[in-house]
Amino acid sequence: MTITTTAQRHDWTLDEINALFALPFNDLLFQAQQVHRAHFDANAVQISTLLSIKTGACPEDCKYCPQSGHYNTQLEKEKLLEVEKVVEQAKAAKEAGASRFCMGAAWRSPRDKDLVLVEEMVRQVKALGLETCMTLGMVDSDQASRLATAGLDYYNHNLDTSPDYYGEIITTRTFSDRLDTLATVRDAGMKVCSGGILGMGEDAQDRSALLQQLAKLSPHPESVPINMLVKVPGTPLENVEDLDPIEFIRAIAVARIMMPQSHVRLSAGREQMSESTQALAFLAGANSIFYGDTLLTTGNPQADIDRALFAKLGLHPERRETCEDDATHAQRLAQQAEQHARAERVAELAVDASV
């Protein structure tokens, strides 16, 4: 099966998706690279930094999550951070090379008094010149429109797993609740960040069905985080069987082919991955990472290790693109050409940058 079109498709059948997964590994990665190169600078990786702005005691029962109040994971709980502290962290992230600052709160959905503070965080972080992303749980249309008005660029809301497997992982909300929030966010004019977690005991069919649901979203999510489960002691999934890394890479490649214009983010679980697995993920079309020492509550490869890996692979941080007129478009193309020519040097400079 060879994919010849790179347009957005929303009608992928499970048979088609399974056929991609079943391709010889080299053929799958070759196709994924072709699609990737048709849309992106193959050596540019978008960098986001993630901050937990409210940690733990979440009423939801997501079986993978140390922040759920249903499980005892020894996680230190934190109330909503002060706006100034969030802005301080955002400044540090920007200096470290992040183009997007993601803020996550462990809520089922935000309360109105919290939303006022969250709106202020968005305004101040955006004023630093960073893209903003939030993950706050379910939002209604009024909340979504307030966030959009405050300047929120992206809303993260993962589908997590397939519709069939969803009830095995979460019982306090439904798959269709998830889709409703995503539709609400889109209607409010924000970009969508939505992906899933692999290695939660799902089968191959569930992985295909998850990608099918993500690709059904119209337009496709601009960001598609593909996470490998981080098994946290105390959560119900702490002893689940490991997913073969090659299966994980296949999922990245299939996501790249199915959602050719989306940034596919190699997300949680990177700390547990070898450099070779990460390199394969980039080859398969992953072009976004979280950067920094921690994700919301689990570890992430330390920034200097990431910089060394970027240098080794000749990768460089993707420049932020905003609404652009012809002049800035031309300028951006010139900058990209220059970046290509200096890719190695840029990576070296990234290694030396103080983070």
Residue numbers annotated as active site: 58, 62, 65, 102, 133, 193, 265
CB proximity list for 351: less than 8 A, separation 6 or greater: 304, 307, 308, 310, 311
- 106, 139, 197, 249: which one binds ligand SF4 (CB under 6 A): 106
Q: Which stretch binds ligand SF4 (CB under 6 A): 63-71, 92-100, 119-127, 267-275?
A: 63-71
Of 88, 143, 92, 91, the C-alpha closest to 118 is: 143
Is 323 annotated as a binding-site member?
Answer: no
Provide the minimum distance between the beta carbon of 221 and ligand SF4 in the complex, in angstroms, as a whole number: 17
Provide the minimum distance between the beta carbon of 244 and ligand SF4 in the complex, in angstroms, as a whole number: 24
Whichever of 62 and 217 has its CB closer to ligand SF4, that residue is: 62
Would you say how long the chain is, in residues?
355
- 45, 47, 62, 286: which one binds ligand SF4 (CB under 6 A): 62
- 97, 110, 137, 292: which one binds ligand SF4 (CB under 6 A): 137
Residue 38: how many other CB atoms lie within 10 Å: 11
Whichever of 68 and 287 has its CB closer to ligand SF4, that residue is: 68
Q: Which stretch binds ligand SF4 (CB under 6 A): 62-70, 88-96, 123-131, 245-253?
A: 62-70
Q: Which stretch binds ligand SF4 (CB under 6 A): 60-68, 78-86, 243-251, 331-339?
A: 60-68
**What whole-number distance in Å separates Cα of residue 42 and Cα of residue 291?**
19
For β-strands 316-317 and 44-54, DSSP reports them as parallel
- 48, 49, 67, 124: which one binds ligand SF4 (CB under 6 A): 67
278 touching ligand SF4, by CB under 6 A: no
Provide the minimum distance between the beta carbon of 52 and ligand SF4 in the complex, in angstroms, as a whole number: 9
Structure tokens at 178: 């998830």
**What whole-number distance in Å separates Cα of residue 32 and Cα of residue 40?**
12
Whichever of 35 and 65 has its CB closer to ligand SF4, that residue is: 65
65 touching ligand SF4, by CB under 6 A: yes
Provide the minimum distance between the beta carbon of 28 and ligand SF4 in the complex, in angstroms, as a whole number: 30
197 touching ligand SF4, by CB under 6 A: no
Q: Which stretch binds ligand SF4 (CB under 6 A): 64-72, 184-192, 201-209, 318-326?
A: 64-72
Whichever of 135 and 339 has its CB closer to ligand SF4, that residue is: 135
By 3-state DSSP, what share of the chain in percent is helix, strand and coil, each rounded to 5? 45, 15, 40
Whichever of 137 and 225 has its CB closer to ligand SF4, that residue is: 137
Is 58 annotated as a binding-site member?
Answer: yes
**What whole-number distance in Å separates Cα of residue 175 and Cα of residue 320?**
32
131 touching ligand SF4, by CB under 6 A: no
**What whole-number distance in Å separates Cα of residue 103 and Cα of residue 101?**
7
Residue whose structure tokens are 């098994």? 231
Question: What is the amino acid identity at position 20?
Answer: L
Three-state DSSP class for 329? helix
- 48, 68, 162, 267: which one binds ligand SF4 (CB under 6 A): 68
For β-strands 44-54 and 263-266, DSSP reports them as unpaired
58 touching ligand SF4, by CB under 6 A: yes
Q: Tell me whether the omega of the peptide bond preceding residue 219 falls within 30 degrees of 0, making it cis.
A: yes
Do the Cβ atoms of 206 and 165 come closer than 8 Å? yes
Q: Is 70 exposed, middle or buried (0-12, 13-18, 19+ CB in 10 A)?
A: middle
Kind and range of the H or E run holding 16: helix 14-21
Whichever of 65 and 211 has its CB closer to ligand SF4, that residue is: 65
262 touching ligand SF4, by CB under 6 A: no
Do the Cβ atoms of 204 and 21 come closer than 8 Å? yes
* Residue 224: strand pairing partners: 264
Residue whose structure tokens are 């470290």? 96
- 23, 46, 49, 60: which one binds ligand SF4 (CB under 6 A): 60
**Which residues of this protein are in contact with ligand SF4, per CB under 6 A?**
58, 60, 62, 65, 67-68, 106, 137
Residue ranges of the binding site for [4Fe-4S] cluster = 58, 62, 65
